[in-house]
Structure 1
Amino acid sequence: MQIGSVMIDDGLIEQAMKSTGLDSQSDVIEQGLRLLIAHHAQQNLRALRGKLSWDGDLAQLRDNSHGTSV
């Protein structure tokens, strides 16, 4: 996807390119978006901590007598 015009702080782009070693502004922006998405996905998972219930049997899962791995 090509975006016509986006205003981004030049210093921020330069700092990101230096710290990541990425060669282009497009690569820096794409990597930044990927990291932002991953960060929010992790936050969403953390928000579920303690809110989900599970009715499984850990002892049965730990028993590997069937020769299969979990």
Structure 2
Amino acid sequence: MRTNIVIDDELLDAAMKAGPFSTKKDAVEAGLRLLARQAAYREILALRGKLRWDDAPKAAGLMVSEPRPAYGAAKAPAKRRK
């Protein structure tokens, strides 16, 4: 999408020096990608403590399990051996 914007020259120069950008467009797109990635990280961090990770990964990779509900039929106590 073509967009015309006014960008602070000093800020753009600093961004161009900070990364291996050959064009202004590359620097601006990298900045936009960084903002989008940071938003995704915040969404992931918001899930902290809400998901349970199993220790044994499945063959296809790591597995995330949803926590089990605290309600429902209680398990029968294990029989004791004599």
User: What is the TM-score when the length of structure 1 is the normalising length?
Assistant: 0.71
* Structure 1: tracts of 5 or more residues without a match: none
Greater Cα radius of gyration, structure 1 or 2 = 2
Q: 1:11-42 deviations in whole A, cap 9, x for unaligned?
A: 00000001102011100000110111001100
The letter of the residue matching 1:2 is: R
* Structure 2: tracts of 5 or more residues without a match: 61-82
SS in 2 for 1:7: coil
Q: Report which of the two has the higher share of strand.
A: 2
Matches within 5 A, 1:1-70: 1-3=1-3, 5-52=4-51, 54=52, 58=54, 62=56, 69-70=59-60
* Residue-pair matches, total: 60
Identity of aligned residues (%): 37
Structure 1 runs of 4+ with >2 Å offset = none
Q: Report which of the two has the higher share of helix.
A: 1
User: What is the TM-score when the length of structure 2 is the normalising length?
Assistant: 0.61
